[in-house]
Amino acid sequence: MKLLEITGLVARYGAGDVLKGLDLTVDEGEIVALLGSNGAGKSTTLRAISGLVANLSGGIVFAGRSIVGLKPEAIVRLGISHVPEGRRVFPGLTVRENIALGASNRRGVSRRQLAGEVEEMLGFFADLRRLEHALGWTLSGGQQQMVAVARGLMAKPRLLLLDEPSLGLAPLIVQQVFRIIADIRARGTTVLLVEQNAHMALGVADRGYVLETGRLLVSGRPDELWSNPQVRAAYLGGAAVAG
């Protein structure tokens, strides 16, 4: 079943079109990677889905209903959670408090239920358990990324949008982040993943889309993308190992 269906999406900041007619679908249960170089429009695509781009046209249908023009909070409530670029962990709040904030768009969650769900996240992100009372500013980049993803999951999304979760992290931590992405899908959440790290992203994804300055260059299964010479040369690190 198509969970997300984007058709002819055009997004503008000021005078210029940043997305120039994008078509993209995500099926329920998939991990879909959105790749492309800096400035291609990947973050803008996620922001458009989340209702954060004012000037857009085209279709965005989620779970059978159009979400174009809805407020960001309404879109979260329908089941789309967005972990933005840069993590944005609150420095003066503890890990627990930061995670709990992710439930703030859900109605009628009791304190007790909230505490239980934060506990569940501390179980899922085992490294955060010992840090539950640590303040945001004391965390490493990898720990901040875990907190940001945990916070995103607290919205109980059907679709999780992840923007560059591996950016700036050490290789071992990057591997951990991608394992978590696979686990999230295994727990039943669909993932749309924006990444610069095409190798790792196509390692977990079912399908990928490659954007080039606001247009789709190509899409397909990871093996199809790997075997496309143009894509390989430009985006997948030339003659690197096949996936």
Ligand X SMILES: Nc1ncnc2c1ncn2[C@@H]1O[C@H](COP(=O)(O)OP(=O)(O)O)[C@@H](O)[C@H]1O
Smallest distance from ligand X to CB 222, Å: 19
* Interface of this chain with Mg ion, residues 3 to 42, rule: CB under 5 A: 42
43 binding Mg ion? (CB under 5 A): yes
Q: Could you tell which of ligand X, Mg ion, none binds residue 32, using a CB distance below 5 to 8 A set by kind?
A: none
Smallest distance from ligand X to CB 183, Å: 25
Q: How far apart are the first and last CA of the chain?
A: 26
Q: Measure the CA–CA gap between 212 and 46, rounded to whole angstroms.
A: 15
Q: Could you tell which of ligand X, Mg ion, none binds residue 201, using a CB distance below 5 to 8 A set by kind?
A: none
Q: Could you tell which of ligand X, Mg ion, none binds residue 157, using a CB distance below 5 to 8 A set by kind?
A: none
Q: Could you tell which of ligand X, Mg ion, none binds residue 137, using a CB distance below 5 to 8 A set by kind?
A: none
44 binding Mg ion? (CB under 5 A): no
Q: Could you tell which of ligand X, Mg ion, none binds residue 144, using a CB distance below 5 to 8 A set by kind?
A: none
Q: Measure the CA–CA gap between 211 and 189, rounded to whole angstroms.
A: 24
Q: Two tokens at 140?
A: 């490493």
Q: Which among 174, 208, 176 is positioned nearest to 192, based on CA atoms?
A: 208
Residues forming the site for ligand X (CB under 6 A)? 13-14, 18, 36, 38-44
Smallest distance from Mg ion to CB 89, Å: 18
Sign, CA dihedral 48-50-55-59, equals positive
Residue 106, classed as helix, strand or coil, is coil
Q: Which of 126-131's residues contact partners 24+ apart within 8 Å by CB, and which partners?
A: 127/176, 128/95, 128/99, 131/95
Mind giving me the DSSP string for 41-58? SHHHHHHHHTT--SEEEE
Smallest distance from Mg ion to CB 24, Å: 16
Give the residue with the Cβ less far from ligand X, 128 or 217.
Answer: 217
Give the residue with the Cβ less far from ligand X, 128 or 216.
Answer: 216
